[in-house]
Chains A and B, each alone.
Chain A
Amino acid sequence: MGRVKTIARRSFLIGSVAIAGGVAFGLWRYKTPYANPLLADLPEGAAALTPYVRITSDAITLITPRADKGQGAVSVQAALIAEELDVSLDQIETDFGPPSPAYYNTALAGDAVPFRATNDSWLAETVRDLADAPMKFLGMQITGGSTTVPDGYDKLRHAGAVARETLKATAARLHGVERSALSTETGAVILPDGTRLSYQSLASEAAQTDPVTDVTLRDPSEWRLLGKPMQRIDIVAKSTGTQGYGIDIDQPEMLHAAIRLNPGQGAALASYDATEARTMRGVQKIVEIPGGVAVIADNTWRAIRAAEAITCDWAAAPYPADMADHWQALSDSFTRDAQDSQFRDEGDVEAALAGGAEIEVEYRAPYLAHAPLEPLSATVRYTPERIDIWTGTQVPRFIETNVARITGLDRDRIHVHAEMIGGSFGHRLEDDVVRHATHIAMEMPGRPIKLTYSREEDMAHDFPRQIAMARGRGRVENGRVTAYDLGIAMPSVLSSQMGRQNIPAPGPDLQIVAGAWDQPFAIPDYRVTGYRAPELAPISSWRSVGASSNGFFHDCLLDELIHAAGADPLEERLRLCTHAPSRAVLEAVGEMSNWGSAMDPGAGRGVAYCLSFGVPCAQVVEVSDTEDGIRLDKVYVAADVGRIIDPVNFDGLVKGGVIFGLGHAMNCQVTYADGAAEQRNFDQYPGMRLYQCPEIEVRGLETADKIRGIGEPPVPPAPAALANAIFAATGTRLREMPFDRHVTFA
């Protein structure tokens, strides 16, 4: 069977050239190895063994191309390489590497095809492979979609193994012994007589050795680093104030810029008056840029103050001015014409519901800001010959493309220096701050200029999470859920986001139904329909993207139906669930929470489940209805990522994801008035605070057969588990986020 599958996939790939349009062009590129970007800048005597390892006479550097926005990507990527390379994490340096098409992200494309993550049929696998070809063609060096681990798991270990074996081959050649007689440990090849040859000492000779590419990856039972608690590489710096971020960049002769942009996203600056700003201390220059005006000054505070003193006249936003019209546009999108997808349609929902539905409800999820704590910034030094850009980014290649268009410089004259990121949640998948900083820097060639967004500008010009509405109905019989019909309307995140990069996004947008259409439940009459609302405010990927709203919709409708059936919320989910790892996470939270045990009066317990990014995650939330309002007492979470690379980091990311999901569901929204976002700072967009944070108990399971990332999957079930718990405690169903529109939190 294995052999048949392999042959079928290969012939399908070759044959697909003609049928898949652009894939044909991409396929040739797919077969062509990319040039190794690390050879370009290597000093004398250095050897680049693979695109992920750089060894020189004085350092072993592991290239970790996925951005670190707090999720520990640098440590995880370095550990994957180090495990096979046989180095310890305290003897290596890390580097984000230059932007290069060699760092394409295969896992991202794999989740963009319409097969459920639980579908491992050969057809699904083949289509995922095909989707990979254009992704490689585009050369997307993107950090996102919880793909850092699945994308790097084999690639990075393979890179480490090839490097190790090539170093051994070098030592074998120099000392006249068989490679098989050599071993490696902590950055050295060990000769049969016990002599240690450091990797650095072999570097220049290794450059003359044919790479050994026929390597076998170690069995997990042999791992030294992976699967065990690790100390993050950045943890000391981040605990002592010595970690530098993009906003901390200093360059000789650097000036500082602040910006005023039209709060109506994408609209023009009609006119402005900078008379007062020009006279303010430290102001060097006032610069008009597309959509706004910038101040260049000698420090950040003077720049921000002067920018605030400019009076601007803005053109109207290209989307509805007020929220009521945004909601109306969604409400009007539940039509056959606006139907985007119906990947799930089992049984006969229309017939089942012909006699009416037990439940017929509407849910809403608001726009949300990403609001990482480090506001956006970019430092740019422009000359007609070369441009340098220092910024925290998830999309260095997009930056190159856009800066090339703005400056007219060739790509090899554009140098993007990826900096450590103080949070993102998707914010740094956009490159608007770099575009603005480039326009500003071009006004003063030769001077490095750091553009820092004020918090207010950062939030006013965020491209928020999608606004979304869902309509659900269903039937129950004999204590069971028998019919389930969910329609979801939202604008297309993919089309809005890719549109800003001039990349077409044809076909249905899977994110409109992600976290809903692909849930592993067997309900006799079961349908999930996606409706594409017109583009409203420009939107972007927000931690867990479509599933961030849809996990709430899908699970809450299920919870309401289960309640209508009079069934137990956990038991009925388990009865309906067809996917073993998903059943396991549900059973785990049941056991952890002692599900079914008695609770105090006024207390309630809610369960929720969502499969997103291929990861099943279940949560039980316990709340109490107190005099001060709803108090979150305890959360139990279980998730299955197939294999946990670092249990300490896993635990932190799960808790962080739950808190992110709960906090936004409780009290965050972005609303528009007069075309402008009304929430510009944390007084209007609080999120969860420490005093509200419940105790969170995490269990990681490793039964699923594929390795997956954990950055996003804990987010989608959290709002649903909270809403279901509040219903259990109070009898009030919350169908609209944020919940503080309807209840008070203690």
Chain B
Amino acid sequence: MQLSVNGADHSLDDLEPEMPLLWALRDVLGIKGPKYGCGIAQCGACTLHIDGQAVRSCQVAVGDVWGPVTTIEGLGTPDAPHPIQAAWIDAQVAQCGYCQSGQIMQAASLLTETPDPTDEDIDDAMSGNLCRCGTYPRIRAAIKAAAKSMNEGA
């Protein structure tokens, strides 16, 4: 199996194809941004992009990955954050922060498809991502701020 993650190619011939992508990334490739929270697509902490589309990596078998994978590490870096990450930093969204990689990847996918989302669009896109600390008001604010800055930059 060949896997492209954040622009780098990996050979994973020795893995069971049914291993969830989440665990292949975390335990085999050492990419820890996607988090394990529930294992059954109920929390969204493992959200990443395959071919630009947000998916729950705990539910995608590594053998079924259909395109290049982008994790939070591939979206931006501490020195060069993506505009969505910059908005997350400005709004100081995170408390424990454990869900935020997934929240940010879900929001990135939303803003790609819907550059100027309404509250209802945000509700629809983000309600599968659980935050136990209760940072929802700042998530909503950060998405709106990111949309504004991305649209102005475009």
Chain A: residues with CB nearer than 8 A to chain B?
A: 69-72, 231-232, 234-245, 247-248, 250, 256, 281, 299-301, 371-375, 421-425, 452, 454-455, 648-649, 652-653, 655-660, 663, 681-683, 687-691, 693, 695-696
Question: In the complex where A301-B19, A681-B40 touch, is A374 in contact with B92 (Cβ < 8 A)?
Answer: no
Assembled-state Cα–Cα distance A693/B39 (Å): 24
Q: Is the CB of B88 within 8 A of A70?
A: no
* B113, CB-defined interface residue at 8 Å: no
* B104, CB-defined interface residue at 8 Å: yes
B2 nearest CB across to chain A (Å): 20
Closest 10 CB pairs of A and B: A70-B96, A241-B33, A659-B134, A422-B98, A238-B97, A241-B72, A656-B134, A70-B95, A238-B94, A301-B23
Report chain A residues within 8 Å CB of B89. 231, 235-236, 239
Q: Is the CB of A234 within 8 A of B97?
A: yes
Question: In the complex where A250-B30, A373-B131 touch, is A239 in contact with B94 (Cβ < 8 A)?
Answer: yes
Q: A70-B98, A241-B72, A652-B92 are in contact. List 11 more A-B contacts (CB 8 A).
A: A70-B133, A234-B97, A239-B89, A240-B81, A245-B98, A256-B27, A301-B19, A301-B27, A423-B98, A689-B127, A690-B131
Q: B114-131: contact bitstring with A at CB < 8 Å (1 yes, 0 no)? A: 000000001110111111
Q: Is the CB of B96 within 8 A of A648?
A: no
Q: Is the CB of A239 within 8 A of B138?
A: no
A99 nearest CB across to chain B (Å): 21
Q: Is the CB of A236 within 8 A of B78?
A: yes
Report chain B residues within 8 Å CB of A256. 27
Report chain B residues within 8 Å CB of A248. 26, 32
| Chain A: CB-nearest residue to B31 | A241
Q: Is the CB of B45 within 8 A of A373?
A: yes
Report chain A residues within 8 Å CB of B28. 299
Q: Is the CB of B122 within 8 A of A373?
A: no
30 contacts across the A-B interface (CB closer than 8 A): A70-B95, A70-B97, A235-B92, A235-B94, A237-B97, A238-B100, A239-B88, A239-B97, A240-B77, A241-B33, A242-B78, A299-B28, A301-B23, A372-B98, A372-B132, A373-B37, A373-B45, A373-B96, A374-B96, A423-B98, A423-B132, A423-B133, A659-B134, A663-B134, A682-B40, A687-B132, A690-B123, A690-B129, A691-B126, A695-B137
Assembled-state Cα–Cα distance A656/B138 (Å): 10
Query: Which among B32, B122, B124 has the greatest number of chain A C-beta atoms within 10 A?
Result: B32
A394 nearest CB across to chain B (Å): 13
CB interface residues, B 96-154, toward A, < 8 Å: 96-101, 104, 122-124, 126-140
A392 nearest CB across to chain B (Å): 10
A-B interface pairs (CB < 8 A), number: 177
Question: In the complex where A247-B36, A373-B37 touch, is A657 in contact with B76 (Cβ < 8 A)?
Answer: no
Report chain B residues within 8 Å CB of A70. 94-98, 133
Assembled-state Cα–Cα distance A721/B32 (Å): 40
Q: Is the CB of A375 within 8 A of B36?
A: yes
Interface size class of B (residues with CB under 8 A): 35 or more
Question: In the complex where A657-B134, A659-B134, A689-B127 touch, is A372 in contact with B96 (Cβ < 8 A)?
Answer: yes
Q: B92 is contacted by which of A232, A244, A300, A681 (Cβ under 8 Å)?
A: A232
B77 nearest CB across to chain A (Å): 6
Question: In the complex where A373-B43, A373-B96, A695-B137 touch, is A299 in contact with B23 (Cβ < 8 A)?
Answer: yes
| Chain B: CB-nearest residue to A455 | B38
Q: B37 is contacted by which of A239, A241, A375, A691 (Cβ under 8 Å)?
A: A375
Query: Which among A241, A247, A373, A696 has the greatest number of chain B C-beta atoms within 10 A?
Result: A241
Assembled-state Cα–Cα distance A234/B131 (Å): 17
Q: Is the CB of B92 within 8 A of A648?
A: yes
Query: Which among B23, B35, B94, B128 has the greatest number of chain A C-beta atoms within 10 A?
Result: B94
* B64, CB-defined interface residue at 8 Å: no
Report chain A residues within 8 Å CB of B130. 373, 682, 687, 689
Q: Is the CB of A452 within 8 A of B36?
A: yes
Report chain A residues within 8 Å CB of B45. 373
Assembled-state Cα–Cα distance A244/B100 (Å): 13
A69 nearest CB across to chain B (Å): 6
Report chain A residues within 8 Å CB of B38. 455, 681-682
* B4, CB-defined interface residue at 8 Å: no
Assembled-state Cα–Cα distance A300/B22 (Å): 11
CB interface residues, B 1-51, toward A, < 8 Å: 16, 19-20, 23, 26-28, 30, 32-40, 42-43, 45
Report chain B residues within 8 Å CB of A695. 137
Report chain B residues within 8 Å CB of A660. 132-134
Question: In the complex where A656-B135, A688-B134, A690-B140 touch, is A239 in contact with B100 (Cβ < 8 A)?
Answer: yes
Q: Is the CB of B138 within 8 A of A652?
A: yes
Q: B101 is contacted by which of A241, A247, A281, A696 (Cβ under 8 Å)?
A: A241
Question: In the complex where A241-B72, A248-B32, A281-B16 touch, is A655 in contact with B96 (Cβ < 8 A)?
Answer: no
Q: Is the CB of B93 within 8 A of A658?
A: no
Report chain A residues within 8 Å CB of B78. 236-237, 240, 242
Assembled-state Cα–Cα distance A421/B104 (Å): 19
B130 nearest CB across to chain A (Å): 6
